[in-house]
């Protein structure tokens, strides 16, 4: 019985790690969408500036803004790749506990239908 209790405790820890990894991926997805939108807006400004007689300072600022937008998107995608690997690993661990126990324990005081992984309540 104590072996099962130990497995349950470790499964709960794995579940919490999975929820944390999932919340991180979801947050990065939102960040990526925002960064992608900023890059699209930058492209529009570039298209507009090529038809305008913009000053060299304005064009320089535009180039710098583009470099920053691309760098931010790249950094987010690298973080997303790492976070996705963590999520996959956490999922694999959960599957192993599910196989070992035949079920996944639900943390006490938690209704799986009431909270998302990020802690926000469902309606």
What is the per-residue pLDDT for 122? 47
Asked whether residue 113 carries a pLDDT value surpassing 60, the answer given is no
User: Under CATH, to which class is 2-101 assigned?
Assistant: mainly alpha
68-105 confidence digits (pLDDT tens): 999 999 999 999 999 999 999 999 999 999 999 999 98
What is the per-residue pLDDT for 123? 41
Q: Are 81 and 25 in contact (CB under 8 A)?
A: no
Q: Whole-model pTM? A: 0.76
Strand, helix or coil for residue 15? helix
The burial of 67, by beta-carbon neighbours within 10 Å (0-12 exposed, 13-18 middle, 19 or more buried), is given as exposed
6-62 confidence digits (pLDDT tens): 999 999 999 999 999 999 999 999 999 999 999 999 998 888 877 666 677 777 888
Q: Are 26 and 118 in contact (CB under 8 A)?
A: yes
Average pLDDT over residues 103-112: 75
- The domain segmentation of the chain, as residue ranges, is 2-101
């Amino acid at each position: 019985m104590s072996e099962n209790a130990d497995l349950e405790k470790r499964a709960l820890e794995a579940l919490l790690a999975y929820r944390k990894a999932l919340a991180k991926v979801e947050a990065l997805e939102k960040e990526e969408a925002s960064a992608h939108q900023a890059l699209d807006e930058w492209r529009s400004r570039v298209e507009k500036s090529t038809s305008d007689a913009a000053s060299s300072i304005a064009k320089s600022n535009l180039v710098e803004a583009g470099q920053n937008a691309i760098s931010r998107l790249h950094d987010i995608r690298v973080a997303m790749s790492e976070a996705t690997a963590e999520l996959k690993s956490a999922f694999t661990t959960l599957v192993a506990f599910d196989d070992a126990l035949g079920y996944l324990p639900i943390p006490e005081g938690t209704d799986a239908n009431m909270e998302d992984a990020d802690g926000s309540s469902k309606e």
